Copies of this chain bind each other. A is one copy, B any other.
Amino acid sequence: MSELKNDLLLKALKGETVSRPPVWMMRQAGRYLPDYIKLREKYDFFTRVETPELACEITLQPVDQVGVDAAIIFSDILVIPQAMGMKVLMEEGKGPLLPNVIKTKADIEALITTEVEERLGYVMAALSLTKKELNGRVPLIGFAGAPWTLLCYMIEGKGSKTFDKAKQFCFTQPELAHALLQKITDVTISYLKAQVNAGADMVQVFDSWSGMLSPADFKLFAQPYLIQIADAVSKHAPVILFPKGSWYALSDLSKSSAAGLGLDWSVTPQLARQMTNNSITLQGNFDPSKLLAPIKQIKKEVTEMIDAFGTQRYIANLGHGILPNVPVDHARAFVDAVKEYGDKSKV
């Protein structure tokens, strides 16, 4: 393997001194890029995900075209329910549909938990190929959905404003919920380790719906599983936990073995630093809608964000995925502003 030419991300995660903060964007390989749209018109979603050459090509697009400091493998969090034996359909622009949801103990017992690496071999192939193609330019990020977020889809069968079916399942049948969460956790740990073996330099765990839970319920149904994953995977590569909306858990999670915590834009940098006692690398938290503002304003607000977080133990990112209607030059302005901040600070 080639040595990394740009290791800002890994240094920031280790708490080592960096010349400027690294920058990448959640969903950076996606719908705002015209070259991605072209591939989307030719190949359906799971073809793009399951064909290593396509996944690799899509993963590299933002590295080449927007200049981010890391590549994140093009894939989907729902490959885990798939690997566990559930059917997952994806309608373009409509979101996922799992026609046969989990309802009973028997449904949970029937889930497959073995041979994850083999079942998701296409992800490992995409990672290996991308690692090779990157040739050390920037680090490669692997990822998975968090157990609570995957439970949401496995119980609910689709997106929801409230995920009340998933919550009802947890509140009325907590033993079954914990059995399911543990199964997902075990599989996710194997999956993330395999991703590291295949070439991922670090991994991120997306708990996209954790903010639907009260602080007390987060501690029951989300936090223990996030911590298990961080503990198991951190031995192999740095782990970033991103519990969207769960600012209330920042203090607890800062004491976990995770190397970094992702933040959405509802929390100020100052409060996040205070809640985490400056003890962990923070990532975020630009409002994705703000990339629709004029470029001059984007650059001004990125500068203010870095001023507030500081340049060390910090990874510049959005607070959630980039929106499909963001002009590419606005995305580039975001990345450039972080890089220019570095230039400025060297003067």
Contact = CB atoms under 8 A, between A and B. Distances in A.
A211 B266 contact: yes
A157 to B, nearest CB: 15
A294 interface: yes
A335 to B, nearest CB: 19
A296 to B, nearest CB: 11
A110 to B, nearest CB: 25
Interface in A29-49: none
Nearest to A95: B161
Interface string A293-307: 110010000000000
Nearest to A167: B289
A215 B105 CA distance: 43
Most interface-central of A162, A171, A217, A293 (chain B CB within 10 A): A171
Contact of A292 (B168, B215, B267): B168
Contacts of A265: 214
Contacts of A266: 211, 214-215, 245, 247-248
A25 to B, nearest CB: 15
A2 interface: no
Contacts of A248: 266-268, 271
Given A266-B248, A294-B172, A289 B164 contact: yes
Given A171-B297, A215-B268, A248-B268, A289 B323 contact: no
Given A214-B287, A217-B287, A323-B162, A172 B292 contact: yes
A164 B294 contact: no
B323 A292 contact: no
A168 B216 CA distance: 35
Nearest to A321: B162
Interface string A269-308: 0010000000000000001111011100100000000000
A114 interface: no
A173 to B, nearest CB: 10
A193 B168 CA distance: 40
B290 A171 contact: yes
A95 to B, nearest CB: 10
A287 B167 contact: yes
B268 A162 contact: no
A17 interface: no
A6 interface: no
Interface in A317-336: 323, 325
Contacts of A294: 171-172
Given A164-B325, A325-B164, A171 B289 contact: yes
Contact of A293 (B172, B213, B271): B172
Given A214-B265, A215-B266, A268-B215, A292 B245 contact: no
A216 B162 CA distance: 26
Contacts of A168: 289, 292-293
8 contacts: A164-B288, A167-B292, A171-B293, A171-B297, A172-B294, A214-B266, A245-B266, A247-B266
Interface of A: 162-164, 167-168, 171-172, 211, 213-217, 245, 247-248, 265-268, 271, 287-290, 292-294, 297, 323, 325
